[in-house]
C-alpha cells in the first residue's frame, strides 16, 4: 500500500494513515518546507517509521503515473488556485484500482448557537470574500464532486458524502473561538482583508470581539460542514 497525503501540514493525519498500513508506506507532501519539520516531529513522537516527507505543489506532482494506491488530501483544495488541475494530478499518480480521497470545509454552511451573536454573520461573509479574493474557494465542500468530474473522474465511480465538525464545551469553545479571534487580526488574513479593501481594522476588531463573545457563552456551539469525495480508479 503506497499512500500519498497531499498538503499534509503538521502530519497528524499522515501519521494516522501510516499506523493503518504498517506494511505500507506513506508520503506526506506539502509546499511549505517549514511545516514538514513539524510533520517529521509528529511521526517521531507517534513512533511511525513508514513515512517520508517531501516538498511539492499539488498542481504539478513530481511522481510517475500510477505511483500510489491511495492519494488523499484534507483541507487543501479550498486554498489553491486550480483544484481541478490538482485533482487531475491526483488522478494521474493513482494506480488502476486505487482511490483518490478528499475532504474540504464549506464555510457558508456554518451554523452556530446562540444565533444572535453580534458580528458572526459579518465574520462569515468577510472570510468568504477574502478567501475568494485570495484565489481560494471557501465553499469547496459542495463543489468537490463537480471538480472531480471536471478533472476526468467518472461520476459513477465517485462517492460523495458530507460530515461535520462540532465545537462546544469549555475547552473547544476556548480553542475554536480563540483561534478565529487571533487569526482575523494578524497577517495574512488581516493584510488581505484590509489591503484588499474588504474590511477596516475596526471591522476586524469587531469580528474578533464577536468570536470572543461566542466563546464566552456557556451554551456556545459551532458546526462546520465538510464535503467529501472518494473516487475509485477503473
Ligand atoms: C489547512 S492545512 C491542512 C493540513 C492537513 N492536511 C490537515 O488537515 O491537518 C493546508 C496545507 O496545505 C498546504 N498547501 C497549500 N497549497 C498547497 C499546494 N499547492 N501544494 C501542496 N500543499 C499545499 C499548506 O502548506 C498547508 O500545510
Residue 2 CB less than 6 A away from ligand 1: no
Q: Where are the alpha helices (DSSP H) in the chain?
A: 12-20, 33-46, 83-92, 120-133, 144-150, 169-185, 189-195, 201-216
- Cβ(31) – ligand 1 distance below 6 Å: yes
| Euclidean distance between CA atoms 234 and 232, whole angstroms | 6
Mean pLDDT of 1-10: 98
Q: What is the mean pLDDT of residues 96-122?
A: 97
Main-chain dihedrals φ then ψ at residue 131, nearest 5 degrees:
-65, -40
Cβ of 9 less than 6 Å from ligand 1: yes
Could you tell me if the CB of 89 is within 6 A of ligand 1? no
Q: What share of the chain is helix, strand, coil (3-state, %, to 5)?
A: 45, 30, 25
Provide the 3-class DSSP secondary structure of residue 151: coil
Pairing of strands 68-74, 221-232: unpaired
Q: What is the pLDDT averaged over residues 124-135?
A: 97
Residue 82 C-alpha to ligand 1 middle, in angstroms?
14
**Per-domain residue ranges of the chain:** 57-232
| Percent of the chain whose pLDDT exceeds 70 | 100
Confidence of residue 120 (pLDDT cuts 50, 70, 90): very high
**Grid coordinates in use for 126?**
468577510
Across the range 104-132, mean pLDDT stands at: 97
Nearest CA to ligand 1 atom 25: 32
- Compute the distance from residue 30 Cα to the ligand 1 centre, in Å: 6
Confidence label for 75 from pLDDT (cuts 50, 70 and 90):
very high
- Calculate how far, in angstroms, residue 8's C-alpha sits from the geometric centre of ligand 1: 6
72: pLDDT confidence band, cut at 50, 70 and 90? very high
Residue-averaged pLDDT of the chain: 97
Binding site membership of 39 for ligand 1 (Cβ less than 6 Å): no
pLDDT digits (tens, 9 = 90+) for 174-205: 999 999 999 999 999 999 999 999 999 999 99
Longest dimension (CA), the chain: 54
* Pocket-testing residue among 6, 76, 81, 138, ligand 1, by greatest number of atoms within 8 A of Cβ: 76
Ligand 1 mean position, distance from CA 5 (Å)? 10
Q: Give the pLDDT of residue 101.
A: 98
Which CATH number applies to 57-232: 1.10.10, 2.40.30, 3.40.50, 2.40.160?
3.40.50
Give CA–CA dist 60/67, Å, rounded. 14
Could you count the other beta carbons within 10 Å of the beta carbon of residue 80? 19
Report the pLDDT value the prediction gives residue 48, as an integer from 0 to 100: 96
For residue 45, the model assigns a pLDDT of 97
Amino acid at each position: 500500500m503506497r499512500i500519498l497525503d497531499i498538503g499534509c501540514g503538521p502530519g497528524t493525519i499522515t501519521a494516522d494513515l501510516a499506523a493503518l498500513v504498517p506494511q505500507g508506506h506513506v508520503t506526506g507532501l506539502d509546499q511549505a518546507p517549514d511545516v514538514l519539520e513539524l510533520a517529521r516531529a509528529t511521526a517521531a513522537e507517534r513512533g511511525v517509521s513508514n513515512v517520508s516527507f517531501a516538498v511539492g505543489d499539488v498542481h504539478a506532482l513530481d511522481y510517475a503515473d500510477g505511483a500510489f494506491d491511495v492519494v488523499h488530501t484534507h483541507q487543501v483544495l479550498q486554498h489553491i488556485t486550480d483544484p481541478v488541475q490538482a485533482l487531475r494530478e491526483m488522478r494521474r499518480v493513482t494506480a488502476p484500482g486505487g482511490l483518490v480521497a478528499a475532504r474540504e470545509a464549506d464555510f457558508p454552511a456554518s451554523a452556530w448557537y446562540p444565533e444572535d451573536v453580534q458580528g458572526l454573520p459579518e465574520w462569515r461573509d468577510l472570510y468568504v470574500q477574502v478567501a475568494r479574493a485570495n484565489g481560494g474557494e471557501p465553499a469547496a465542500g459542495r463543489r468537490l464532486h463537480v471538480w472531480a468530474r471536471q478533472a476526468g473522474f467518472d461520476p459513477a465511480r465517485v462517492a460523495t458524502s458530507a460530515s461535520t465538525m462540532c465545537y462546544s464545551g469549555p475547552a473547544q469553545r476556548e480553542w475554536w473561538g480563540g483561534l478565529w479571534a487571533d487569526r482575523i487580526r494578524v497577517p495574512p488574513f488581516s493584510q488581505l482583508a484590509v489591503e484588499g479593501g474588504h474590511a477596516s481594522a475596526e471591522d476586524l476588531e469587531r469580528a474578533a470581539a464577536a468570536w470572543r463573545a461566542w466563546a464566552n457563552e456557556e451554551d456556545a456551539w459551532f458546526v462546520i460542514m465538510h464535503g467529501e469525495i472518494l473516487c475509485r480508479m477503473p
